[in-house]
Structure 1
């Protein structure tokens, strides 16, 4: 079997055709013929070697959706079959034997298979392999394939904190950033039943934030609106890959409130202990979702109509699509289709 992919052969290079042999299918493995794949900022970061650990050639892509084309001998035939529509997201497998895997926290497994870190085995290809069939997620019929890809990474990343940190429908929550993650977080929070405030530097996004389900809007550029909201939020989810005035955001929380950071800041976080400690506030990090969290997210999104806003490109135009993501101008996710 030969897989045809699109790879960057050096830092920042345009993607070019590349072929590789994935080897013999393992007992738990599943091959998926890719029909759609989302392009995440992390994919662009790997192509551009932003973090210094890319291994070239890089075949990025970790929001792949397609059809099962082959299954290993140990795959449960009642739950996974050839021809089934599935998605392979940020995590394509884990050891399933460590304390974290056995307690349903596969996202913390030290040996998890991060799709985007594989080098030349990502989703910008004719086929992608899940190293464990349990991480090839059946896509609900209500969700189109072009929408399913971004849900597998962006959707799961912003949905999981609601489960992990006990967000309640009675909570008032703030969503920082109205981009690829934030526009989904607003929808999930609205469907969850929360009072939702969108927080953005750009006042131009207010109308769209309200249309997505926000009940209120705070503009942070050249205003004191966030400072005036001190002590009002139960939970704040930061989705932006940027440095923020962390003390101001912590001050906006109620006592015992939680600031969940899923967007990667550019610099070390500077925090005044007095803002954090006396009111027992928390700062928590976020990583891709566990298997069960992803399953729950897909079901919730299907029932409540949570969908990404996507721009679609044919796979042949992937370099134009990557450039669109790199520029930061996409509204809000980019997907390529075979």
Structure 2
């Protein structure tokens, strides 16, 4: 008796254009391109899908972009016009005229912000304009009465005076302006009053920007919609990396001279390592932000390159040494780009 052979199972076929498998998941750019390649989407359908998915701005997106851009330009040009008006007519203006014009500008900006509402973009822009003019008013006060105060006191008073507006305005750019003023206050205090160690100033500036970045991301995670902007935390992270890299590279170049190594270098290096590890973990697995990972990757490139340059400069800094440095930079850049690409692809897979 012959045993019947079990039926052969055909190999799984690639999803056909009419198969629902290819329609599952998020409308990523790669998925839309696959649908176009399989003939599911013609050229017009592919372009329409890109618009609906947000990869190509539609008319509403362009209108919103132009509104925001023109509003930002209007505020910037208005404030710069006021500043240049004072610069050109300074000697001919009475001191009360100077104060009156700046104060009138502040009141107009505040009135406009109140009229449009602090929950609207024009209202927030008006509040930012008033905050900037407060700095102009303090500068006028210092020049008219020749107070001789240090520069850091101007930025400190400026930050104190606009703090209330930042609290009630719920504006990310206004809070970023406030953080910039704190940075300038600390910087000029370090330059004029001085610290025992210059690197201490960079560690404090790192702590200020790192704290601002952490509070921004935590606030956004807790649902503060006005902290949804991404350019502000990216600039904070950029500043934090710059201020942390300075003592780190200083430690590298003092490595063979233990007497030159001080506590600020060690603290700054530890802070840099903590920042880099935190940024890589948080922005890879919690908040997907390729810009932040790029900062971390190329900060490591800067650190490793500094170490190589320091060692080469101690032995051979001729053509062979320069060639080695160039090769190290090329290899690091290639590895960094490859890692960033793999992380971006893993996000696409995770999102479907």
Is the helix fraction higher in 1 or 2?
A: 2
For normalisation by structure 2, the TM-score amounts to 0.24
TM-score (norm 1): 0.25
Please tell me whether Structure 1 or Structure 2 has the larger radius of gyration of its CA atoms: 2
Structure with larger RCO (C-alpha < 8 A, sep 6+) = 1
Bigger share in strand: 1
